[in-house]
């Protein structure tokens, strides 16, 4: 999919203040570690995650999403009356119905003519929402839109710790399916996209490409963040990387880029092994990838856009840079975007 008229006008993020280290989690898993004789430091060694962050107990995703979206809209300098879409794209949501986007839209005071909806696509939710908005802009249906998502993973981690300590049937092999939930952290991210006439700077969306390998949909399952997640991490990693290779080839073929031209990559943050394997298989240098994984953990659908926002804030992206947004989520779904950063 090629785009000619779409700009990423702004990105924003909100991070929790509370930090929980992998060592803290292992201390709470002491009964399990002693029974299975697991070495201390195993969790950080396996995942590359030193710590993750959590919002205060009881925080609703919408509480944070409103603040993050407000920040993104303010940074875009686009009049709220120009917005034609408000999408909430995280795994976490305030309730089963209505859409969390309804509460966010109301709090932001956006026009009633907006498309207002939640988008659910595992760790690709925010990026999928961005693609929907970009397509509407390119087709001339709307002038601007905001997509936001907030992941509040505390309850999933708490439930996983409790279950692991209580299950005396676990072995060193069977515990592997429960490692992924222990990498989860919390974060919020938002993106404002608009027609080029509304924003001279920021990012110009060049192309997007999707690829699905849904025969792998059973490899990562959760009935909700209040439940325990089961993930075949090894098979999911290999299936996701394989889908990423196919999709990345399609993306650069679509926009005519060479790998050497890409100045920065921003990936969905899962674990250090996944990141290393993916970039290697895609033929991209790891030193050009911006990754706060070690101190944020896996923040679900907020991971990639929050990483982009952090990179922009910290000067990791310069005017004229060609950047690749590399999203891979369970399902297995893959969504990638090529963006020229205009400053």
- The separation between CA 106 and the C-alpha centre of its own chain, rounded to angstroms, equals 24
CB contact at 8 A, 299 and 306: yes
The values of phi and psi at residue 74, to 5°, are: -60, -40
CB contact at 8 A, 234 and 219: no
- The dihedral region occupied by 324, where left means phi > 0, alpha psi between -120 and 50, and beta the remainder, is beta
Catalytic sites, residue numbers: 97, 123
Going by C-beta distance under 8 Å and a sequence separation of 6 or more, which residues neighbour residue 72? 10, 11, 12, 146, 148, 190, 191, 192
- Which residues lie across from 336 on neighbouring strands? 209, 326
- Give the number of C-alpha atoms closer than 13 A to the C-alpha of residue 224, restricted to the C-beta side: 6
CA gyration radius, the chain: 19
Helices then strands, each counted (H, E), the chain: 11, 13
Residues in the chain: 343
Asked whether the CA dihedral 154, 177, 295, 189 is positive or negative, the reply is: negative
How far is residue 301's CA from residue 297's CA, in Å, rounded to a whole number? 12
From residue 80, alpha-carbon distances to 7, 73, 136, 198, 238 in Å are: 16, 8, 17, 12, 43
């Amino acid at each position: 999919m090629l785009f000619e008229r779409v700009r990423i006008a702004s990105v924003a993020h909100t991070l929790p203040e509370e930090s929980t280290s992998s060592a803290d989690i292992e201390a709470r898993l002491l009964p399990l570690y002693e029974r299975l004789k697991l070495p201390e430091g195993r969790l950080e060694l396996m995942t590359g995650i030193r710590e993750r962050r959590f919002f205060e107990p009881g925080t609703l995703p919408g509480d944070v999403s409103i603040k993050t979206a407000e920040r993104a809209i303010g940074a875009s300098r686009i009049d709220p009356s120009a917005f034609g879409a408000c999408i909430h794209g995280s795994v976490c949501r305030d309730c089963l119905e209505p859409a969390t986007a309804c509460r966010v839209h109301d709090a932001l005071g956006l026009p009633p003519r907006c498309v207002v909806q939640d988008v659910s696509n595992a760790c690709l939710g925010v990026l999928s929402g961005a693609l929907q908005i970009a397509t509407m802009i390119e087709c001339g249906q709307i002038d601007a839109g905001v997509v936001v998502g907030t992941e509040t993973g505390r309850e999933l981690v708490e439930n996983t710790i409790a279950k692991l300590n209580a299950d005396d049937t676990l072995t060193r092999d069977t515990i592997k399916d429960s490692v992924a939930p222990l990498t989860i952290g919390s974060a919020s991210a938002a993106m404002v996209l608009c027609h080029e006439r509304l924003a001279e700077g920021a990012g110009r969306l060049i192309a997007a490409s999707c690829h699905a390998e849904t025969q792998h949909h059973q490899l990562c399952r959760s009935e909700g963040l209040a439940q325990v997640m089961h993930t075949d991490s090894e098979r999911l990693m290999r299936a996701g990387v394989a889908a990423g290779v196919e999709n990345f080839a399609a993306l650069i073929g679509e926009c005519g880029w060479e790998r050497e031209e890409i100045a920065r990559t921003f990936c969905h943050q899962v674990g250090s092994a996944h990141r290393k394997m993916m970039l290697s298989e895609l033929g991209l240098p790891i030193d050009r990838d911006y990754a706060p994984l070690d101190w944020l953990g896996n923040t679900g659908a907020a991971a990639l856009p929050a990483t982009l926002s952090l990179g922009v804030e910290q000067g990791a992206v310069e005017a004229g840079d060609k950047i690749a947004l590399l999203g891979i989520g369970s399902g297995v779904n893959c969504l990638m975007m090529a963006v020229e950063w205009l400053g």
